[in-house]
Amino acid sequence: MAIHEQQREKEVATIKELLRAFPDFPQKGIVFQDIFPIFQDPAAVKLLITHFERYCEEHLSKVDVVVGLDARGFLLGPMLACQLGAAFVPVRKQGKLPGPCISAQYTKEYGTDHFDMQLGAIQPNQNVIILDDLIATGGSASAAAELVKQSGGNILSFLFIIELITLDGAKQLPAPVYSMLQF
């Protein structure tokens, strides 16, 4: 196995070890994957950001904008954006952003919601990545993609820590998906 691949697998194992699963949260039948233990370990947070940074540098053109999804995408988005020398743009749940916004409704694993993005936050033809902690049905990421496309942004890739592969959410997304680990 190449040294690079060994390193990648070590990083994945470190993060996997820190995750915690909560059955029947927030609803019966959902196994909730909790990423917050990662944030009790600063070395693990650095590892995670470096892991995503390396993916971007090795596989993507220059990233202009990192879009993070409310709320857990905000934990990683600004840190990754700083490392990449990119802007950070938040996609927020409806009614939280001031000024003119564009909106999209979506359905996720446990309910429906609306996302907003501030008008003009992304310029036409900017290269964008969309980052979140987890993809389940893909409803949230897909709605964020709609907002990026309405703004004229060019989506290079979607990045997640966790992909729930049984729900097959990645297949509806309009750009390549990188997930660090899969359940």
Ligand X SMILES: Nc1ncnc2[nH]cnc12
Q: Which residues bind ligand PRP (CB under 6 A)?
A: 69-72, 108-109, 132-140, 169
**Shortest separation between residue 153's beta carbon and ligand X, angstroms:** 24
72 belongs to the catalytic site: yes
Give me the phi and psi of 88, to 5 degrees please. Answer: -110, 130
Q: Which does 38 bind (CB under 5 to 8 A by kind): ligand PRP, ligand X, none?
A: none
Q: Which does 30 bind (CB under 5 to 8 A by kind): ligand X, ligand PRP, none?
A: ligand X
Site for ligand X in 70-109 (CB under 6 A): 108-109
Q: Which is nearer to ligand X, 118 or 142 (CB)?
A: 142
Q: Which is nearer to ligand PRP, 77 or 153 (CB)?
A: 77
Which of these is catalytic: 8, 53, 54, 72? 72
Which of these is catalytic: 11, 109, 146, 163? 109
Q: Which is nearer to ligand PRP, 27 or 61 (CB)?
A: 27
Q: Which 3-state string (H, E, C) describes the chain?
A: CCHHHHHHHHHHHHHHHHCEEEECCCCCCCEEEECHHHHHCHHHHHHHHHHHHHHHHHHCCCCCEEEEECCCHHHHHHHHHHHHCCEEEEEEECCCCCCCEEEEEEEECCEEEEEEEECCCCCCCCEEEEEEEEECCCHHHHHHHHHHHHCCCEEEEEEEEEECHHHCHHHHCCCCEEEEEEC
User: Could you list the active site residues?
Assistant: 72, 109
Interface residue list for ligand X (CB under 6 A): 30-33, 108-109, 134, 136
